[in-house]
């Protein structure tokens, strides 16, 4: 039978095409009753096609992405709260997001694995030992007083601000083949030995934290709280950065993940602020690159999911189903194998081979070659993870990504650094 193209089906196709083309500007908020779609707003660094595929197989949920940069996530939540169902954001953005009322408290009773969430978030400790809490540590902003409250609660309540998903401890990345000597302190970033071969990230809120780690380790100043500097402390930090910049210390600054990979892989830079997956990306090109543990410790970050205040009823149920699936282990295993940490380690373990768990989480020598989730080799048998075990790395956290009270002043001073 010849397939007839009538006006109706033509219109339908045209409509679907138009909807596809229009996605990104504004995804339609209403879906047909039995189609489960989640509009995801975030950087999408902890998502991916494999996760999408498995998610659809297990739950029938499809993800519609609104991929933006870290700072754009905040902007979008504040300016277009109706354009997404679920937001994947950093804990340090919460002091900006929560007062807006555009995200609601998450109901911990609906999260199956809530009690198994890593203690780094809930208590700010690991293995019973307190970890650094300078900056916007998750435990400070973990709970809300009420579902619709715009105030954080220091006591546990039923309402969580975010349901944590992924976190990590960041440090400097180095090219051991080009540096040819051990690096053990943050101060090396501004060591004149690496003049013209260093880089720092040009995202003010994170760059200033890396700079603070450097200033402390140079012995210039001890901050009472690196994550909440006074104006004088900001002045001091920026002054040291400007002096280094004028002396030609930095080859470039970077603001995009891929830029940091290119700078490192091409050898333009041998020491710089870097993120864990960027190290992986350099290494899978066959270029040696180390995520160097430093004696002053790490700068940690954590991300999680929240629902838009506009997400209600059936759509909210789908979002909770998505979050429960996300924490159920497959994604955790997937992300742990990239060097991140899943917020629910116990479920991630079920999706990792024994030798992988030993390498990534326990800091043991690799029993076999370690492969990235895409199958490319990351480390040979016998190698040990940079920085060691989960407890060692997270135990060494010195501060967390932060939003400062003097944020406005800090951004202005950061611009001064770029202009110097």
Partner 1 sequence: MFDVKRHSATLLSFPFAFVIFAFFVVPLCLVIMVSFWDYNSYSIIPDFIFTNYQDIFYGCVKSLPDLCTSFATYISSLKFVFITWLITLLTGFLVALFLVFCVSTLQMQIVLFLLCTIPFWTSNVIRMISWIPLLGRNGLVNSTMQNIGLTDSPAEWLLYSEFSVTLAFVHLYTLFMVVPIFNSMMRIDRSLIEAAHDAGASSFQTLANIIIPLSRPGIIIGSIFVITIVMGDFITIGVMGGQQIPSVGKIINVEMTYLQFPAAAANAVILIITTLMIIFAMTKLVDIRKEL
Give the interface segment with partner 1, choosing from 123-131, 135-143, 229-237, 408-416 (CB under 8 A). Answer: 408-416
Report the nearest approach of partner 1 to the CB of residue 73 (Å).
Answer: 10
Q: Looking at 137-189, list the stretches that DSSP marks H as alpha helix, in order from N- to C-terminal side.
A: 176-179
| 262 binding partner 1? (CB under 8 A) | yes
d(CA 316, CA 35): 14
72 binds partner 1 (CB under 8 A): yes
Tell whether residue 254 is a contact of partner 1 (CB under 8 A): yes
What is the distance between the alpha carbons of residues 336 and 340, in angstroms, rounded to a whole number?
Answer: 5
Considering only 125, 146, 268, 358, the residue that binds partner 1 (CB under 8 A) is 268
Q: Which of 31, 64, 71, 119 touches partner 1 (CB under 8 A)?
A: 71
Is the separation of the CB atoms in 183 and 274 below 8 Å?
Answer: no
Minimum distance from CB of 263 to partner 1 (Å)? 9
Q: Does 420 bind partner 1 (CB under 8 A)?
A: yes
Measured CA angle at 45 (ends 43, 49), to 5 deg = 110
How far is Cα 26 from Cα 66, in angstroms, rounded to an integer? Answer: 9
Where does this chain touch partner 1 (CB under 8 A) — which range of 219-227, 249-257, 287-295, 383-391? 249-257
Q: What element of type H or E holds 38?
A: strand 36-42
251 binds partner 1 (CB under 8 A): yes
Is 418 a binder of partner 1 (CB under 8 A)? yes
Q: How far apart, in whole angstroms, are the C-alpha atoms of residue 88 and residue 307?
A: 9
Phi, psi of 282 (to 5 degrees): -70, -45
Residues 75, 148, 295, 377: which binds partner 1 (CB under 8 A)? 75
Q: Which one of the spans 95-103, 116-124, 162-170, 342-350 is the region binding partner 1 (CB under 8 A)?
A: 95-103
Q: Which of 15, 22, 127, 267 binds partner 1 (CB under 8 A)?
A: 267
Closest distance to partner 1 from the beta carbon of 196 (Å): 6
Query: Measured on CA atoms in the order 92, 26, 317, 99, is the torsion positive or negative?
Result: positive
- Of 185, 323, 202, the closest CA to residue 254 belongs to 202
CB nearer to partner 1: give 73 or 343. 73
- Asked if 74 touches partner 1 (CB under 8 A), the answer is yes
17, 154, 350, 415: residue in contact with partner 1 (rule CB under 8 A)? 415
* The dihedral formed by the CA atoms of 189, 195, 201 and 207, expressed in degrees to the nearest 10: 50
Q: Is 309 in the site for partner 1 (CB under 8 A)?
A: no
Chain centroid, CA 179 distance in Å: 28
Residue 319, Ramachandran bin (φ over 0: left; ψ between -120 and 50: alpha; else beta):
alpha
Give yes or no for residue 411 binding partner 1 (CB under 8 A).
yes
Piece in contact with partner 1 (CB under 8 A), picked from 127-135, 169-177, 326-334, 403-411: 403-411
Selected from 145, 245, 364, 371, the binder of partner 1 by CB under 8 A is 245
Detail the DSSP E strand segments found in 158-233: 159-160, 163-170, 172-174, 198-201
User: Phi, psi at residue 60, to the nearest 5°?
Assistant: 75, 15
From the list 105, 164, 204, 387, which residue makes contact with partner 1 (rule: CB under 8 A)?
Answer: 204
Please give the helix or strand (H or E) that residue 143 lies within, else none.
Answer: strand 143-144
By CB atoms closer than 10 A (0-12, 13-18, 19+), residue 68 is middle
Q: Quick count: other Cβ atoms within 10 Å of Cβ 184?
A: 13
SS3 65: strand
User: 22, 64, 98, 63: which is closest to 306 by C-alpha?
Assistant: 98
Out of 83, 191, 255, 324, point to the residue binding partner 1 (CB under 8 A). Answer: 255
Name the one range near partner 1 by CB under 8 A: 1-9, 115-123, 129-137, 402-410.
402-410
Would you say 5 or 25 has its CB closer to partner 1? 25
Is 97 a binding residue for partner 1 by CB under 8 A? The answer is yes
CB of 267 to partner 1, least distance (A): 6
Residue 346 or 415 with smaller CB distance to partner 1: 415
Question: Site residues (CB under 8 A) for partner 1?
Answer: 69, 71-72, 74-75, 78, 95-97, 99-100, 196, 202, 204-205, 245, 250-255, 262, 266-268, 403, 407-408, 411-412, 414-416, 418-420
């Amino acid at each position: 039978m010849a397939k007839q193209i009538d006006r109706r089906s033509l219109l339908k196709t045209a409509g679907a095409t138009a909807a596809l083309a229009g996605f990104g500007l504004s995804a339609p908020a209403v879906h047909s009753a039995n189609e489960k779609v989640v509009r995801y707003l975030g950087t999408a660094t902890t998502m991916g096609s494999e996760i999408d595929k498995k998610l659809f197989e297990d739950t029938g949920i499809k993800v519609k992405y609104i991929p933006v940069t870290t700072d754009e996530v905040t902007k979008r939540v504040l300016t277009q709260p109706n354009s997404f169902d679920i937001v994947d954001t950093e804990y340090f953005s919460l002091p900006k997001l929560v007062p807006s009322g555009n995200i609601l408290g998450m109901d911990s009773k609906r999260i199956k694995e809530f009690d198994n969430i890593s203690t780094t978030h809930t208590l700010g400790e690991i293995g019973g030992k307190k970890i650094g809490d300078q900056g916007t540590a998750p435990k400070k902003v973990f709970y809300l007083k009420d579902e619709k409250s715009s105030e954080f609660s220091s006591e546990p309540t039923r309402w969580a601000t975010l349901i944590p998903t992924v976190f990590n401890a960041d440090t400097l990345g180095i090219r051991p083949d080009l540096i040819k000597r051990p690096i053990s302190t943050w101060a090396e970033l501004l060591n004149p030995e690496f003049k013209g071969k260093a880089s720092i990230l040009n995202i003010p809120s994170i760059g200033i934290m890396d700079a603070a780690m450097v200033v402390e380790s140079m012995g210039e100043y001890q901050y009472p709280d690196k994550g909440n500097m006074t104006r004088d402390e900001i002045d001091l930090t920026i002054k040291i950065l400007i002096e280094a910049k004028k002396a030609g210390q930095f080859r470039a600054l970077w603001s995009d993940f891929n830029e940091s990979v290119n700078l490192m892989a091409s050898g333009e830079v041998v020491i710089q602020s870097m993120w864990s997956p960027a190290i992986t990306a350099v290494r899978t090109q066959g270029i040696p690159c180390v995520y160097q543990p430093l004696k002053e410790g790490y700068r940690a970050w954590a991300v999680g999911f929240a629902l838009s205040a506009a997400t209600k009823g059936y759509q909210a149920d789908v979002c909770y189903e998505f979050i429960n699936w996300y924490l159920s282990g497959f994604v955790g295993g997937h992300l742990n194998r990239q060097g991140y940490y899943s917020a629910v380690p116990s479920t991630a373990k079920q999706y990792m081979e024994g030798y992988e768990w030993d390498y990534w989480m326990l800091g043991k020598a690799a029993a076999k070659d370690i492969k990235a989730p895409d199958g490319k080799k990351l480390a040979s048998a016998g190698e040990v993870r940079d920085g060691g075990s989960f407890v060692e790395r997270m135990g060494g956290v010195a501060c967390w990504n932060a939003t400062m009270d003097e944020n406005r002043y800090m951004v202005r001073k950061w611009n001064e650094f770029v202009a110097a």
